[in-house]
Amino acid sequence: MGLVIFLMGACWSNRIKAVSPSNTGFTSRSVSRSGYDTNSNSRNSSASIPATPRSEGEILQSSNLKSFSYSDVRAATRNFRPDSVLGEGGFGSVFKGWIDEHSLAATKPGIGMIVAVKRLNLDGFQGHKEWLAEINYLGQLQHPNLVKLIGYCFEDEHRLLVYEFMPKGSVENHLFRRGSFFQPLSWSLRLQIALGAARGLAFLHSTEPKVIYRDFKTSNILLDTKYNAKLSDFGLARDGPTGDKSHVSTRVMGTRGYAAPEYLATGHLTAKSDVYSFGVVLLEMISGRRAIDKNQPSGEHNLVEWAKPYLSNKRRVFRVMDPRLEGQYSNNRAHAAATLALQCLSMEPKCRPNMDEVVKALEQLQDSKDTQKKRSDHKEHHRMHGSGLGRPASGKGSVDAPRKASAYPRPSASLLHA
């Protein structure tokens, strides 16, 4: 198949060590948000972050965002009606609203464009700090794989953010929710989503200074109508090291099961910390299992610990694969995806690929998928033409087009380091 996986020399030899979960305290937090249709691309976007820390006033004044009045936001969400809630959690609630596409003024439901409005709970200083971080980064960075922040409200005690609406919700809901509301994501859609999310991270790591996302997980990857992935929630993002510094030292924050082991142990943050988190998410996508799941059998609660011994073995990798994907991938492609995940999960940060290398590997997986699909479609055309069969009914028999949802999913709670 000719897939190129970026093996990192001697680092690759025997790094199958399990990652021990942190015993530090965690609190719950979940946020869900929303947006529109864009095409995936890796760079070609604006990236300009001032190298020196800025004051609150400087951040608000220099952002390319609309400043909404509280009355405007309240009108757009119909006074934050309970039936307009898109998601909620310890960090805040997200409401569906409507604004005019050009003036951005509040409109009646069904007129203009849909937006997602996050209203923060201001029980502590951290809420305001994360609200400001969102404006600092998303007010300056634009990329097809980052959710678009349209504006904010900063009035009296009110702190709100207005985003583009993401109709398909989070990857977390599509992977882990069960029932008729969500159809399982197909193998090809999972690859598409992984590639889009990887491009988003690669873009953040290409800015000057680098932006370290620090909270990469399935609940923070949102999907538009065409299942294009966009990264959301920049409340924990940090500028990366500058000059001759190898890392930045921070208070340990993030999500249990996703945070890199060296970051949990030392508080030292680098771009390779994000790469580890990407490896966890890629493993979740190919396995259909959560990073931490107490409902799994004993010994399988921690996905990385359980799966690592199988990922490097082509004959055993099937044990990790999501059974709902059976028949949708070749053994070679499954092994290539598993190998990439294992590289990202290396215990040694320097042995992990960078996100540009991850993007290239996933693009090659995509290319092999497209080639395989063309051959399959060609065979199917001849089979159906010869038998006199017509095209299948719309929406049936397609693993790449999950059933249209009737309502926006509420997010499940995720565990956050306090």
To the nearest 10 degrees (0 to 180), the angle between helices 271-287 and 303-311 is 80
Residue 374 known to bind ligand: no
Distance CA 148, CA 274 (A): 21
Residues 72, 215, 233, 356: which is the catalytic one? 215
Residue 212 φ/ψ, nearest 5 degrees: -95, 120
Separation CA 190–CA 170 (nearest Å): 13
Cα separation, 58 vs 43, whole angstroms: 26
User: CB atoms < 10 A from the CB of 36, how many?
Assistant: 17
Residues in CB range of 217: below 8 A, 6 or more apart: 172, 255, 258, 277, 280, 281, 291, 414
Phi-psi region of 331 (alpha: psi -120 to 50; beta: other; left: phi over 0): alpha
- Cβ-based neighbours of 222, under 8 Å, separated by 6 or more: 32, 33, 34, 35, 147, 166, 168, 169, 170, 171, 229, 230, 231, 232
Distance CA 358, CA 200 (A): 11
Which tokens go with 359? 């993007």
- CA separation for the pair 185, 401 (Å, rounded): 8
Peptide bond between residue 309 and the one before it cis (omega within 30 degrees of 0): no
* Closest listed residue to residue 83, CA positions, set 73, 93, 71: 93
Q: What gap in Å lies between CA 343 and CA 402, rounded to an integer?
A: 30
Per-position DSSP letters for 101-152, written without gaps between them:
TTT--B--TTSSEEEEEEEE--SSHHHHHHHHHHHHHHTT---TTBPPEEEE
Q: Would you give the end-to-end CA distance of the chain in angstroms?
A: 45
Which tokens belong to 194?
């992984």
- The H-or-E segment that residue 269 falls in is strand 268-269
* DSSP category for residue 405: P
| Catalytic-residue membership of 370 | no
Q: Which helix (H) or strand (E) holds 333?
A: helix 331-344
Known binding-site positions for ATP: 118
Known binding-site positions: 118
Active site residues: 215
